[in-house]
Amino acid sequence: MPTRFRSALLWLAPVLLASPIVAAALQTAPVATVTLPVLKFTTPNAARGAQISANCAGCHGVGGVSKDEAVPALAGQVASFTRQQLVAFKAKLLPDPTMQNIAGRLSDQDMADIAAHFATLAPGPAWPNTDAAVRAQGATLYAKGDPARKLIACAVCHGADGRGNDALVMPGIVNLAPAYAEGKLAEYREVVPYAHPSPQAMHAAAQGLTDEELTALATYVSSLK
Together in a domain, 29 and 130 = yes
Domain count, the chain: 2
Q: Among 77, 104, 119, where does a domain finish?
A: 119
Together in a domain, 149 and 219 = yes
User: Is 170 labeled as ligand-binding?
Assistant: no
User: Is 158 labeled as ligand-binding?
Assistant: yes
Q: Which phi and psi (to 5°) does residue 63 adopt?
A: 70, 20
Q: What is the pLDDT of residue 102?
A: 97
Phi and psi based region of residue 106 (left: phi greater than 0; alpha: psi -120 to 50; beta: remaining): beta
- Does residue 89 form part of some domain? yes
- Does residue 195 form part of some domain? yes
Together in a domain, 137 and 171 = yes
- Does residue 39 form part of some domain? no
- Does residue 198 form part of some domain? yes
Q: What is the pLDDT of residue 1?
A: 37
Together in a domain, 115 and 130 = no
Q: What is the pLDDT of residue 159?
A: 94
pTM of the model: 0.82
Cα distance between residue 215 and residue 135, in whole Å: 9
User: Is 111 labeled as ligand-binding?
Assistant: no
Domain ranges, residue 100: 46-119
Q: How do the residues of the chain divide into helix, strand and coil, expressed in percent and rounded to 5?
A: 55, 0, 45
Together in a domain, 150 and 192 = yes
User: Is 56 labeled as ligand-binding?
Assistant: yes
Q: Which amino acid is at 191?
A: V
User: Is 99 labeled as ligand-binding?
Assistant: yes
Please answer whether residues 197 and 11 qualify as being in contact, where contact means their C-beta atoms are separated by less than 8 angstroms: no
CATH code assigned at 20: 1.10.760.10
- Does residue 62 form part of some domain? yes
User: Is 117 labeled as ligand-binding?
Assistant: no
Q: What string of pLDDT tens digits covers the 225 residues of the chain?
A: 333 333 333 333 344 444 444 444 444 444 556 778 899 999 999 999 999 999 999 999 999 999 999 899 999 999 999 999 999 999 998 889 999 999 999 999 999 999 999 999 999 999 988 899 999 999 999 999 999 999 999 999 899 999 999 998 888 999 889 999 999 899 889 887 766 667 777 888 898 999 999 999 999 999 987
